[in-house]
Structure 1
């Protein structure tokens, strides 16, 4: 009986030694997955903040630049696309399109000195600039979390646990091809 009890305890001890690293590895992957999801949510939150500022900006510019309806429509349409984006790549593409439309809007603003001196416009621009900085930081935080997560799930022996529990690599937040080009600014609009 003592020998049987000892053998059972040895088997239990060996099982614990084998299972403990798997549990630890699984839990660390879950924690990193949650870190990625939190970082992605932070990007969404910052993008939403920018989207919330845009209608006020468009309305302020609209009062001064009635003939610039096409640019204002581009900003509004790009904002709508961002709101409808579901995946990280769709958000990155829509974000890039919105950034381009906002850049074109700011070029238009240069033609209206009275608009640039408007207190409401200046306040919106300060808020928008701060939000753009937040978005940039959130993108970097997201990509850092993805790098840590992806690195964890491909290293041995974690890769075995990751494949068993179906942890898959996450996509990085990437700029679209057009975002790498410097925007063209033309102040010779004939106004």
Structure 2
């Protein structure tokens, strides 16, 4: 995937973030969001102990003592707060995060997420994934439509370890926006010129259409 597709996903997710919301950003595409808020005031939270992430610094202003949970250099927005990571998880587990924007290895047809371990590969640890899945009021997945091996991310059933029984509300990829329902995924918006037949071919489960093009 090229950078423009990643930016497209991040910009589309920003549309779903309400003004004044506390939002946690996961690893990968979600880390682009601070650069594309376009004046919208949301409070970006990092689980390593920061509320008020600002835009990505340029090379001259990188301070590696100030990093996100993804270990990427960040800045602090006006009024930002620093605190212990234990307090940060109190915020998450206490239900004070309005939305979590997470990456995913897989998402099943009902919105259950696998985003922390690939079977047979070295595991660094679950990090905050399970806490965020359980604690955030809303979960939005920002992800490529397919993995690097061209396997679909949206699947009928997870084959990777689940991050928790709590379900995501929405999936945004470079090609489409899906909402999850009790009956499975519903396509609500197409974001690329891909045909419907091609979209179904690269998606690992059936979906309904209620679409804006």
TM-score, normalised with respect to structure 2? 0.22
Which of 1 and 2 has higher RCO (CA within 8 Å, sep 6+)?
1
Larger Rg: 1
Q: Quick check: which one's strand share is greater? A: 2
